Amino acid sequence: MKKVGIIRCQQTEDICPGTTDFRITSEGKLAFEETGPVQLIGFVSCGGCPGKRAVARAQIMVDRGAEIIVFASCISRGNPIGFPCPHFAEIKAAVIKKIGPDIEIFDYTH
């Protein structure tokens, strides 16, 4: 079972407890159809706009065993507020640069 760390949008914390993210990781559905069920080892926010804390937080999750870093759908797709993060491309590029090519990156959860 692969170990996963999820980075979510801090703006959505007040309205989304992450219930769907937790369910689909344990069931291996939607973004996790290819991996099957995964072990969630971290669920953190980006730290707020413009998401600069996402880089350090991704590294911490990798240091603690994450094999996949996943950007929650609130960041990449705008669920549930209907507004994707305007900084997503830069955040993703910075995370990849920091953690290297051996860690998988998923762009969404559900």
Distances in whole angstroms, Cα of residue 25 to Cα of each of 30, 49, 69, 97: 9, 26, 12, 25
Q: Give the model confidence (pLDDT) of 29-74 as tens digits.
A: 999 999 999 999 999 999 999 999 999 999 999 999 999 999 999 9
Domains of the chain as residue ranges with CATH:
3-106 (3.40.50)
Q: What rounded mean pLDDT belongs to the chain?
A: 95
Neighbours of 8 (CB within 10 A): 22
